[in-house]
């Protein structure tokens, strides 16, 4: 069971809520890591203590996600935004083509960066509709090196509930829904995810890449931007983000003990249903995206009466609910309900919505 937090009910899109038990264990490690007399913040990344952390973190990624030894698991810095250029830099030749799906702000930024390294074919986009749906009708060119997509769109509240069937490997930015549900690892040549949604604190980026896909372009790369450098160095070519990796390990340990991806998917589906049912039935609110593409991670909705926006945000504040103001691209409200979000917090938000309808309807 996902524990209820003792703090404010945090619906922030990120950095986001993490399990309370993870906060507590990490807080203790800041004072004294494993009885070493040293803080996790000051131990050497070459020490036996941290080596055990890195080994367990990688093992948990493989166990939970189903990644075999043909994949390298890397813990890098620079955020998912650095992967927008590192992926094509490492995997797309100058005269080669990659297919991209444009479903929001992050995918459009990935497209911009990829154009620096090869030919980019944007095979489908929902930009004309302000990204309120996931494009359904498209064909992936057989001569594309890969298909790139953003699995969940944090700003606009859409999500791929099924990944495309393709003849080419998929590169996926899973920053905001990584390990929130089961998926077939074999569909992907590369997955990257900023940690600060479901995996841990900001500061580490999880990268999972097919080893035999590396070095294919012949392009000369700076050492720090070459995936092979980090594979060979075990993610320790330079000093890695020690504390974020440790917290990521704790979070994955929590997820495994919870029952893994099947269990967390049921939890996430139940939370989302409670909130979307209220949006659809409450006369003062309305959803922003196509129902079949609604995200289980980021629930976006608007007030029917724009004058109610500030009033509702004030009602949330009084209820100790934080982080529900929508992104400026959409407006209204956004409730981010990542893995660690307890169902009780979602129910509280629904209660506030129902009370608001009574008072202002």
114-135 pLDDT per residue, tens: 999 999 999 999 999 999 999 9
What total number of domains does the chain contain?
2
Element (H, E) at 165: none
DSSP reduced 3-state for 200: coil
Q: What are the two backbone dihedrals, phi and then psi, of residue 129, each rounded to the nearest 5 degrees?
A: -105, 25
Q: Examine the domain organization and report whether 100 and 26 are in the same domain.
A: yes
| Residue 8 belongs to a domain | no
Q: Show the domain range for 306.
A: 260-360
Is 9 domain-assigned?
no
**Which phi and psi (to 5°) does residue 136 adopt?**
-105, -35
Question: From residue 242, how far is each of 199, 235, 297, 323 by CA, in Å?
Answer: 14, 11, 27, 28
Residue 14 covered by a domain: no
Question: What is the maximum alpha-carbon separation in the chain?
Answer: 65
pLDDT category, 2, cuts 50, 70, 90? low
CA distance 247 to 79: 16
Flag whether pLDDT at 361 surpasses 90: no
Whether 289 maps to a domain, the answer reads yes
Q: Are residues 121 and 221 in the same domain?
A: yes
Please identify every residue annotated as catalytic.
106, 173, 197
**Residue 202: which CATH number?**
3.40.640.10
**298-303: strand order across its sheet:** 285-287, 298-303, 333-336
Whether 54 and 40 map to the same domain: the answer is yes
Helices and strands of the chain, counted as H and E runs: 9, 14
> What is the DSSP annotation of 82-97?
HHHHHHHHHH--TT-E
Q: Do the strands 144-150 and 321-322 form a parallel or antiparallel pair, or are they unpaired?
A: unpaired
pLDDT band, very low/low/confident/very high, at 208 (cuts 50, 70, 90): very high
Using alpha carbons, select from 13, 3, 8 the residue that is nearest to residue 295.
13
Query: Are 80 and 34 contained in the same domain?
Result: yes
Sign, CA dihedral 336-341-344-345, equals: negative
Q: For residue 168, is pLDDT > 60? A: yes
């Amino acid at each position: 069971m996902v524990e209820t937090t003792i703090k404010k009910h945090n619906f922030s899109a990120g950095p986001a809520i993490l399990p309370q038990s993870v906060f507590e264990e990490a807080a203790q490690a800041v004072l004294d890591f494993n009885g070493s007399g040293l803080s996790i913040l000051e131990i050497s990344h070459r020490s036996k203590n941290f080596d055990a952390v890195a080994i367990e973190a990688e093992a948990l990624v493989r166990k939970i996600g189903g990644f075999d030894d043909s994949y390298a698991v890397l813990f890098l810095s620079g955020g998912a935004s650095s992967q927008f250029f590192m992926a094509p830099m490492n995997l797309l030749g100058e005269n080669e083509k990659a297919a991209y799906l444009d479903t929001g702000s992050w995918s459009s930024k990935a497209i911009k960066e990829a154009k620096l390294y090869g030919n980019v074919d944007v095979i489908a986009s929902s930009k004309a509709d302000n990204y309120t749906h996931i494009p359904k009708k498209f064909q992936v060119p057989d001569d594309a090196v890969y298909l790139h997509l953003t699995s969940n769109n944090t700003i606009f509240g859409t999500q791929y509930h099924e990944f495309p069937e393709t003849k080419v490997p998929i590169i996926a930015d899973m920053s905001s829904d990584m390990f929130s549900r089961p998926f077939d690892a074999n569909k992907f040549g590369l997955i990257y995810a900023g940690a600060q949604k479901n995996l841990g604190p900001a500061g580490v980026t999880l990268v999972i890449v097919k080893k035999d896909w590396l070095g294919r372009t012949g392009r000369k790369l700076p050492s720090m931007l070459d995936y092979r450098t980090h594979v060979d160095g075990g993610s320790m070519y330079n000093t890695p983000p020690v504390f974020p990796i440790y917290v990521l390990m704790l979070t994955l340990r929590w997820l495994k003990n919870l029952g893994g991806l099947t269990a967390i998917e049921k939890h996430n589906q139940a939370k989302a249903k409670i909130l979307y049912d209220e949006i659809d039935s409450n006369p003062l609110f309305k959803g922003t995206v196509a129902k079949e593409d609604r995200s289980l991670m980021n629930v976006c909705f608007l007030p029917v009466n724009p004058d109610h926006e500030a009033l509702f945000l004030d009602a949330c504040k009084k209820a100790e609910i934080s982080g529900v103001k929508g992104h400026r691209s959409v407006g209204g409200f956004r409730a981010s309900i990542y893995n660690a979000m307890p169902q009780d917090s979602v129910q509280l938000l629904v209660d506030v919505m129902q009370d608001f309808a009574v008072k202002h309807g």
